[in-house]
Structure 1
Amino acid sequence: MKLSIYIILSLFIVLVYSNADAQSHKDTTATVTVAGTCGQCKARIEKAAKITGVKSAKWDVTSHLLTVQYNESQTSLDVIASNILAAGHDVGDKKAATTIYDKLPECCKYRDELPEVDNVNHNDSLATPSGNVVKGIVLQSDKKGNLLPLTGASIVWLTNGKGVTTDAFGGFQITKPDNDNKLVISFTGYRADTITVTGHDELKIVMATDKTLKEVIVTSRQRSTYLSMLSPIRTEVMTGKELLKAACCNLSESFETNPSVDVSYNDAVTGSKQIQLLGLSGNYTQLTVENLPGPRGIATPLGLNSIAGPWVESIQLTKGIGSVANGYESIAGQINVELKKPESEHLYANVYVNDFGKTDLNLNLSQRISKKWGTALLLHDDFLTNKNLDQNKDGFRDLPTGNQFSFVNRWAYNDEKGLSSQFGIKVLTEKRTGGQTGFDASEDKHTTNSYGLGMNINRYEFFAKTGYVFPEKQYKSIGLQLSGISHQQDSYFGLTDYNAKQQNVYANLIYQSIIHSTTHKFRTGVSFLYDNYDEVFKKTDYKRTEVVPGAFFEYTYTPIEKLNVVAGLRADHNSLFGFFVTPRMHIRYEPIKGTTIRVSAGKGQRTANIFAENMSVFVSSRTVNIINAEAGKAYGLNPEVAWNKGISVDQKFKLFHNDALLSLDYFRNDFTNQVVVDLENVRTVNFYNLQGKSFSNSFQVQLNVEPVKKLELRLAYRYYDVRTDYNGKLLERPLMAKNRAFANIAYAISGWKFDYTINYVGKKRIPATDGNPVQYQLSNSSPDYVLMNAQVSKTVGKKQKMDFYAGSENISNYKQPNAIIAADQPFSPYFDASMIWGPVSGRMLYAGWRMKIE
């Protein structure tokens, strides 16, 4: 099966690349600064620049420079710049219309995120001309002796350090101080020139080619993680640059350098992981892929492992409730993953190995088929064959062995008249075997000879998104999102079988426009969700079908730039639980420049999938009980409903002469109903509807600072207070640390990058085990501990750059002792591998190589 897939993919690659066009002859070349932040911006800018007469256009996401080759007889730099402005991106000091800029995706909002040239006040360039204003133009000479405008050059007064940058045509104007007449002109790749201003004539400054440095000096760079200060919904964006700070083989490892999200193993046997946000398990965080349903339902326990890290272009993290346009399931927050598009790099390859015996292979390919069509192919394969990986010497494999293969093939279409579309397929196959080191599935499966587990997963997805932006009214658009998923898991845990199948269909139609002006904007639409589940647990069949049609309306009020109010309401009808309403509101206020306050409140609802979301109980001898189940509901239980309230303050300021950001946020969740997972009896796990209270309080303070150039420091502290009524007793949520601290240090110099992360985890409450024999009892709480990760990478090559990287996780080799209760008697009533509060495996070393061709 896999061989045939490889053959088909190989033929696909050959056919696509055989149609690649040769590069045309270069005419006039010019470079301008265009504002943007990410790969989506790159595609949009280059598309806008490629008008009639333009031979090529390439925008660099790091330097923000657009290099265009064009025929002067057919077009001009002014016309090209106008077209880019119409797409929503600033060119030099020319600003795109606010109505167009507001339509850009959140990850593309650049006006508050772009780094500034050191000690430069860009507002000076907007000063009213007077007798104290100096004007001029900065030019560069090409190889033919032609003078071309130099966009983005720094013009700074020598004494006070204030200055401006040149616009799209190399021009500038700057206010002259009384005590200074020397201007310093600099640009990346040229030696700085200092000139004396003696009069009020316009200056003409030429940066000659023979002044070019052998080594380019970068004076500004894009942040690897940033917070959109203009968005009313507090969204943190992790760019591809951030994901390179760690190995990031899959999505679960993408949050190692992020203090807001915790990732931990569910148990000591299956290798499955879960995220924790705001002190709640990942079940309460809506995980989407490009705003379409991601791994959910049956796919929850292994979903984080199913998205390859090298596929990820960026991650948007929203704490608290999200937009009603994205559905009703968000309670703790939303994590949206953007995959690499056909407009991304031409080729990306990655090879990763670690000393556990795990190998990851990744290959991303993209190709522009024609002016309107593009395609991308993302391939991933990983395998672990070391059956004797048992660092804690308990007789069980620390990680299951096996193989995962997956790929994405996506296509993009844009008619350049407002209509755009993308569609594709995803396929994943995975086989894992775990349990005791001596387990042999061919002989020991379903016997008491040796404890083992096996999982066989097949997942198939289709997705499509089509949008139309009205050419004459850029503020008006309509879009349709579609996806279909089939997920099959056949598995066994010792003597217990669990086989499950889920079929999902999702559709979301969104229309957005304004009411009279951009002060009043709205989004509205209808959605449809279909879920069909068929689960067999211990020979008992649990079937259900949920059909949820819905509609939503979201209104945004922006009377002034400093204030945004977003009010949303959606109404849905669940075929099992009936009609329900989800209101949500977000308010953003900026009382002074650099200070952003956000307040949010709203409701979320979801259906608990008690088996898939708690698969860790399968690797124990606990008896599963569903208390007070009612016919006609999911497992006989009510849906989970919670109200989330939150407030955050983000303060920008200068520290050590560099930009710094201090963030504080507080969120509270109150459940009106929750499916309680009760582990307080060591012999059972009980599922029942909440009787009493259940809430979570989350507080976080974070400081991002750059003490010296190219040295970034990220510090954070989190406090959680999470409690639930368990049979009338209000107790702390088990296996959740109240106190956590985080530090990440990143340094880059001459192609070298160094990253070091420290996590402090406080003590956690452990459910009582006093019903076990003494040798199988645990203490009532875990000790606190510290985890450390580090990575170093080196970029080599000029034309074809390659990265070599090496690192270590869990440097101190800290492991939870007695991770598996009664590991020596896995078929006894005391066996339990689900009481995990710390690392299951010890120190891990890894190394890798990656190459990217734009």
Structure 2
Amino acid sequence: MKWDNFKISLVIFLLLCLSAENTVFAEQGAETKAEATHLLDTIYVTSERLSEYVKNHPQNVVELTQKEIRERNFLEVGEAIGSMPGVDVAQGTNSMGARISIRGGGGSGSVLVLIDGRPINSAQYGGVNLGGIPIDIVKSITVFKPPVPVWLGPGGSAGAINIVTGDFSGNTSKKKDGDKASLKINSGSYGAANITSSYMLHQDSGKLLFTIGAGHKDGKRPNSDSDSGNASFNWQTEGQTGIRYDLNGRYFHSYHGSPGPIDNPTPDARQRYQKGSLDFHINGFTDDMMEYKVKSYMDLTDLYDQSQTGSRSTLDEHRAGISAETTWKPEDGVFALRLGGLAETNRVDHNFSGDHHREKVSFHSQYDRELNKLTATLGLRGDHTNDFGFFPAFNAGLSYALGSNTVVKSSAGYSVEIPSFNQLYQPSHGSIDQVRGNPDLDEEKIYSFNLGMEHKIKKDVVFNASVFRTNTKDIIIYQRGNDLIYRPVNVSRAYKQGVELALKSEWTKSISTELSYIYQDTKNKETGGELSYAPDHSLKITGKFVLPTKTRVETILKAVSRQYSSPNTPQSQKLDGYAVVNMKVIHPVNIKSWPSEVFVHIDNLFDTDYEVHAGYPDDGFSFLAGVNINF
């Protein structure tokens, strides 16, 4: 298998070389930077380009803008992501991390999460701690549903989410605007109390944003309390030649209990988690109108675990990486070629499972071509890791405009998902009492397909429909034994397929609604049963209203059908389906001369009894009330 993957990777490398040669020849007519700005430009430059990318490209993409993030008063990044159509975010079972699912979950691999285009998923457990990303630094959130473009990098077989930070659009020398600051304070059920502050400093050379925050929660179940704190800075400046420089740093700390499932509680298990990150980005244009990006990044994670049995574990995770990407296009802008690569090293030192390291190298190319109403894209990538060898990946798609109001999109892709250290070896991150590793795991091989249509019924009413399928060889699933411990194993073949529908409507300036529905069918071909955490039906309805008093009211209904928590779960022990309603009320006020807002957020309005993860019941009705002050 590794030799076959090596041969495919070699073919991809040769195609990259041929593509580069063709593009350099075509680039001789480019003269000005303004002429290079076109539909097929990279999506990270302006929100307008992203909107065009979402509308015309074959990939299934949805975006949440900074304007909507602020208007809807999202308090955490996970809450914002979970509001998007076809996406669900559930709190991790150990009070840390989050379980993100796209299109109903239950598929193979993991969701790739990036900040400003660089990966932040942990090599140890594959997931990501969204609590370490302050919502105040977020400019936009983009969700790529599978199959995802190859240029996002490896690890996105179940979808990808890119979080763009900073509020640096336009001229960075706006000292006349004055410095800005904000303060957010809230408290609520189960001893919850949070405070966050941000400060934007305008300078002639650029902008500097600081944030700091702290939170506490007692929790409903015994040993579900948590204390956390975070700090960040974002600095951006632009040189005289138009080159933009970004330097960002983030720190997060948490100390919390790990209560365990109700049938195997761990009332004395505790955990301390801290993570620091540093990023440096360069973005500019060359004289021949080639856009380039260079990114370097580093993560340091420290974890201390005390299990129910009294044993203590420590884990240190170090990550460092660099990525580079260039985009060429001719003067007429009918095509664009993106070439890039990534090199990354991950090292994990765990006092139980030992010292493990993974070096990863990846090269990619994507070619986009626009032919009147037709847009075609082809992406190729080759990945190599020191422990699993060479792997290819590809993505191809077509979109066709049927008139001015309808676009049909189709795409297909192949990728490989390698096991995380958590799956291979002794787990950590609050799971010592619940999960074990399996060093004999093989990598997953994933084929994804999507066919969709977007139709604008009228100016502010848009309907989307998609059919999708994912076939996976050697899918990794968790089976629970008689000792109540979960262990990962490979299943030779599995699939998920389904339909996704979405309707976004703005009926008046004061009333808008969003509807998202997913039906999926999953199967473990070894047993004939369903995949775990893959409900057949998922529904999300959001209603947003603005009252004459300028009070904003939002209600969200989430409904999920019954689902299995493990492949060997009896039919009688499936997780029950549920419907839950959340609500927000946000009212603008002036405190002295400062524009402010008072708000109430209510989760589980009708106190519904349900579980999103087996053995971890929801807290039931809870609320947060607070104030946002802008200085």
C-alpha distance in 2 between matches for 1:450 and 1:708: 51
Q: Check if 1:761 corresponds to 2:585.
A: no
The corresponding residue for 2:11 is none
The corresponding residue for 1:279 is 104
Displacement of 1:318: 0.9
Q: Check if 1:381 corresponds to 2:214.
A: yes
In structure 1, give the amino acid aligned to 2:214.
Answer: D
SS at match of 1:638: coil
C-alpha distance in 2 between matches for 1:516 and 1:697: 41
The corresponding residue for 1:108 is 46
In structure 2, give the amino acid aligned to 1:803.
Answer: E
C-alpha distance in 2 between matches for 1:652 and 1:322: 24
**Residues 182-238 of structure 1, C-alpha deviation per residue, up to 9 Å, x if partnerless?**
xxxxxxxxxxxxxxxxxxxxxxxxxxxxxxxxxxxxxxxxxxxx9931344332111
SS at match of 1:242: helix
**Residues 468-513 of structure 1, C-alpha deviation per residue, up to 9 Å, x if partnerless?**
213x55x421221111111111112311544322211121111111
SS at match of 1:325: helix
The corresponding residue for 2:198 is 364
C-alpha distance in 2 between matches for 1:427 and 1:510: 27
**Residues 690-742 of structure 1, C-alpha deviation per residue, up to 9 Å, x if partnerless?**
3x3112223211111233442001122211222225xx313212333211222
CA 1:323–1:757 in structure 2 vs 1: closer, same or farther (change >3 Å)?
A: same
- State the structure with more CA Rg: 1
Correspondence for 2:621 among 834, 838, 843: 843
CA contact (8 A) 2:259 2:265 kept: no
SS at match of 1:452: coil
CA 1:261–1:335 in structure 2 vs 1: closer, same or farther (change >3 Å)?
A: same
State the structure with bigger RCO (CA 8 A, min sep 6), 1 or 2: 2
SS at match of 1:430: strand
Correspondence for 1:637 among 433, 438, 441: 441
Displacement of 1:810: 0.2
Displacement of 1:433: 2.6
In structure 1, give the amino acid aligned to 2:543.
Answer: I
**Residues 287-308 of structure 1, C-alpha deviation per residue, up to 9 Å, x if partnerless?**
0011111242336556122223
The corresponding residue for 1:554 is 366
Map 1:668-687 to 2 at 5 A: 668-679=469-480, 683-687=484-488
CA 1:617–1:325 in structure 2 vs 1: closer, same or farther (change >3 Å)?
A: closer
SS at match of 1:229: helix
Q: Check if 1:665 corresponds to 2:445.
A: no
| Residue ranges of structure 1 left out of the alignment (5+ in a row) | 1-85, 89-96, 114-225, 391-395, 437-447, 627-634, 771-776, 820-833
CA 1:547–1:424 in structure 2 vs 1: closer, same or farther (change >3 Å)?
A: same
C-alpha distance in 1 between matches for 2:89 and 2:371: 40
The corresponding residue for 2:280 is 464
Displacement of 1:247: 5.5
C-alpha distance in 1 between matches for 2:110 and 2:380: 20
Displacement of 1:763: 1.2
Aligned identity (percent) is: 14
CA contact (8 A) 1:734 1:767 kept: yes
C-alpha distance in 2 between matches for 1:111 and 1:323: 16
The corresponding residue for 1:796 is 589
CA contact (8 A) 1:332 1:644 kept: no
CA 1:578–1:301 in structure 2 vs 1: closer, same or farther (change >3 Å)?
A: closer
SS at match of 1:249: coil
**Residues 334-367 of structure 1, C-alpha deviation per residue, up to 9 Å, x if partnerless?**
1111123356983232112122211221112122
The corresponding residue for 2:388 is 577
CA contact (8 A) 1:659 1:705 kept: yes
**Residues 281-333 of structure 1, C-alpha deviation per residue, up to 9 Å, x if partnerless?**
69511100111112423365561222233332211011013232221211121
Higher strand share: 2
**C-alpha RMSD over aligned residues:** 3.3
SS at match of 2:305: strand
CA contact (8 A) 2:40 2:53 kept: no
In structure 2, give the amino acid aligned to 1:794.
Answer: H
The corresponding residue for 1:701 is 501
CA contact (8 A) 1:455 1:491 kept: yes
CA 1:504–1:476 in structure 2 vs 1: closer, same or farther (change >3 Å)?
A: same
CA 1:665–1:348 in structure 2 vs 1: closer, same or farther (change >3 Å)?
A: farther
Displacement of 1:680: 6.5
Displacement of 1:645: 1.1
Map 1:483-562 to 2 at 5 A: 483-495=297-309, 497-515=312-330, 517-536=332-351, 540-560=352-372, 562=373
CA 1:383–1:350 in structure 2 vs 1: closer, same or farther (change >3 Å)?
A: same
In structure 2, give the amino acid aligned to 1:456.
Answer: R
Map 1:172-191 to 2 at 5 A: none
The corresponding residue for 1:72 is none
Q: Check if 1:747 corresponds to 2:545.
A: yes
**Residues 647-669 of structure 1, C-alpha deviation per residue, up to 9 Å, x if partnerless?**
22110012xxx520111112211
Q: Check if 1:332 corresponds to 2:110.
A: no
CA 1:324–1:435 in structure 2 vs 1: closer, same or farther (change >3 Å)?
A: closer
Displacement of 1:788: 0.2
The corresponding residue for 2:516 is 716
Q: Check if 1:427 corresponds to 2:227.
A: no
C-alpha distance in 2 between matches for 1:469 and 1:435: 52
**Residues 250-278 of structure 1, C-alpha deviation per residue, up to 9 Å, x if partnerless?**
222223432311122443x5465311113
Displacement of 1:467: 1.7
**How many residues are treated as equivalent by the alignment?**
585
SS at match of 1:764: coil
C-alpha distance in 2 between matches for 1:453 and 1:734: 26
Displacement of 1:789: 0.6
SS at match of 2:151: helix
SS at match of 2:576: coil
CA contact (8 A) 1:301 1:615 kept: no
SS at match of 1:779: helix
Q: TM-score, normalised by structure 1?
A: 0.63
